[in-house]
Every structure is written in structure tokens, then in C-alpha cells.
Amino acid sequence: MLKETIRQLASSSEKMSLVMGGQVQLAGVSVAEQKALLGELKNKNDKKENYKLSYWL
């Protein structure tokens, strides 16, 4: 379900804005997935890395 949600978001900037504004419920997406998704969208919006992991492997 996460995949489908991301496909929809990628195809619609309007939906993306609604999700970022907390105006849309993400049905079928787990709490952990939602937390990571909102974190990444915020990251993208702020244009900065607030989560980092250097290349290890």
C-alpha cells in the first residue's frame, strides 16, 4: 500500500501538499511508514537533510 500511495503522490503535487499539510489520511499505510514518509516529504520541502546516514557498505 505504501508503494501505491507513493505512486499517487509522485503523480500529483496537489496530493503531496495535502499529505504534507496533514489534510489527508493515508489509509493502509502503517504508522512507521507514515512517519518515514512525512519525514522525507518534510525533508524534501525544507531542501535539507534532517536525517543522514553516510555510505557504509
Partner 1 sequence: MINGNTLIEQHMRDMVGRYFTAEPLLRYALQFTEDKLGESIKFGQLTLLHYRMFGGTAPAIYQAAAAVELFILASDIFDDLQDQDAPGKSWMQVPAPIAIHVASSLLTLSQQAMQSCEFDQAVRLALIGLMNDQLLRAANGQMLDLMDMASDEQSYLETVKLKSASLLLFACMTGVIAAGKPWQPVVAEYAQEIGIAAQIRNDLRDLLRWDEKSDFLQRKRTLLTMYLVESVSGEDKWIADYFEGLLSIQDVERRSEMFEEAVERSGALLYGAVMSRMHYNRFEELLDSMQEISPWKSDFLHMLNGEIA
Reduced to 3 states, what is the DSSP secondary structure of residue 55?
coil
Please select the residue that binds partner 1; options are 7, 18, 28, 45, rule is CB under 8 A. 7
Q: Which of 53, 42, 1, 45 is nearest to 25 (CA)?
A: 1
10 binds partner 1 (CB under 8 A): yes
Q: Is the Cβ–Cβ distance between 29 and 54 less than 8 Å?
A: no
As measured in angstroms, the least distance from the Cβ of 34 to partner 1 is 10
Applying CB under 8 A, the residues found at the interface with partner 1 are 2-3, 6-7, 9-11, 32-33, 35-37, 39-41, 43-44, 51-57
